[in-house]
Amino acid sequence: MASLCRVGSTVGRSLSRHRSPILLSLRRGRASVSFAQSLAGAPETSLTALDNGLRVASEETGHATCTVGLWISAGSRYESEKNNGAGFFLEHMAFKGTKNHPQAALEQQVESMGAHLSAYTSREHTAFYMKILAQDLPKAVELLSEVVQQCSLSEADVEQQRAVVLRELEEVEGNLQEVCLDLLHATAYQGTPLAQSVLGPPANARTLSRQDLAEYVSSHYKAPRMVLSAAGAVDHDELVGLAKTHFSGLSFEYEGDAVPVLSPCRFTGSEIRMRDDAMPLAHVSIAVEGARAGSPDIVPLMVANAIIGSYDVTYGGGKHMSSRLASLAAQENLCQSFQAFHSSYSDTGLMGLYFVTDRHHIEDMIHWTQNAWMNLCTTVTESDVSRGKLALQASLVGQLNGTTPICDDIGRQVLNYNRRVPLAEWVSKINAVTPSVVRSVCSKYLYDMCPAVVGIGPIEQLPDYNRTRSGMYWLRF
């Protein structure tokens, strides 16, 4: 779950049309430049570490604009039951002004640049970033440094944002996909910090104090846990100089040497059922424990998920869709939509499928989902894998279209891997995946494993958990 807060205006329409260098080179040199050559010509990511541990990473992409921001190892997984939601609360507080720029002045500064100031919080990461014209990079870095280091946290602003957070919690309750996936984490990682939602419970939103928020900042907003990331028309040496000016004083020490350490998160096969026969459609998710972010199994599992794909009744193609499960869903009217996913964290992951269907097709969707998983373990073909690899490569390239997604990719990867993995390296790893690798890796994570299951709505037909559990074995034969 990621939340987005914005202050300021978007940049001009003419500037928003710029494409990534990879897409540009593919488009311009249709006959003369291959995909591999385009990847080889992609700009490199420069990485520098300051004396206090802050990492500065940037990529010159050739755009006329740039995106710059701070990515922090902080999120709901670092919170306790008492302060769960503090990171999300602080995300809102960041836009209420700093010690040098009260809210009106901060907004005026952002508006005067025609910039876009945003933030999001996830389970392991927090980000504050701005999209700007290249000439405004120094001012943007200055404002971001104040947002992170000098957020005012006045009592009046805390109380004002408390009401905003509570309203947003109510709104999220209406997003059943978010609710379903939050409940999936709650049951799969029960008794561990990964079970907590990013937004936190309403009870915490009502009781979190200014002191709680200040303690959260002092505990987690440390230089070694941060990455200053930028993409677009940005000079790396200039960015490093700006980082030294505005972030050299950022603390790298912990009071009492109390360095926050992530506790292990065990996966528990289990289920949550929230039956409501008055609802028109059922929302169901089923998942097994997947691979951690740094695991070599990540790429084969990504290919496997690309083979299963996604589906929506609004898609064209019907029975001719390349995904077997999507084709079957279209022919048999099995569901309104489904989406295969893999959420990876520092030491674990969730590999699963979320679907929306009517009350009469829940059992069929569970059956055919598990059947698709078992096919990955046993009968996946060369053509299946080739299709999955091409779909995955297209997705990776498409997701990096613009300075903001590139900047986000840089920030998250440096936090996860302490480097930016080049797209060419990802593509090389994808190309190395074979049917036997897919079968081997999928058998490791899927075959005879206990799943986590969540059902919301008219779910009378949702199979008994033990029956669903047995489906992870017998569908192989």
Is 363 considered catalytic here? no
The most distant pair of C-alpha atoms in the chain lies apart, rounded to whole Å, by 67
Question: What single letter denotes the amino acid at residue 145?
Answer: S
* Two structure tokens written together for 236: 């790396």
Task: Find the distance separating the first CA and the last CA of the chain, reported in whole Å.
Answer: 37
Q: Are 82 and 199 in contact (CB under 8 A)?
A: no
- Cα(386)–Cα(229) distance, integer angstroms: 34
- If phi > 0 it is left, if psi is from -120 to 50 it is alpha, else beta; for residue 256 that is left
Neighbours of 276 (CB within 10 A): 10
Write the DSSP assignment of 5-44 as a string of letters. Answer: EEESPPPPTTGGG---HHHHHHHHTTTT--HHHHHHTSPP
Tell which residue, 100, 79, 98, has the closest CA to residue 88. 79
Dig out the tokens for 273 from the structure.
């059922």
How many other CB atoms are there within 10 angstroms of residue 18's CB atom?
19
Between 382-399 and 423-431, two packed helices, what is the crossing angle to 10 degrees? 170
Annotated catalytic residue within 91, 124, 271, 289: 91
Give the residue from 310, 313, 323 showing the smallest Cα distance to 357.
313
DSSP 263: P
Residue with tokens 């999209």: 131
| Cα gap 292→72, rounded to integer Å | 19
How far from 53 is each of 121, 253, 413, CA to CA, in Å?
22, 10, 16
Active site residues: 91
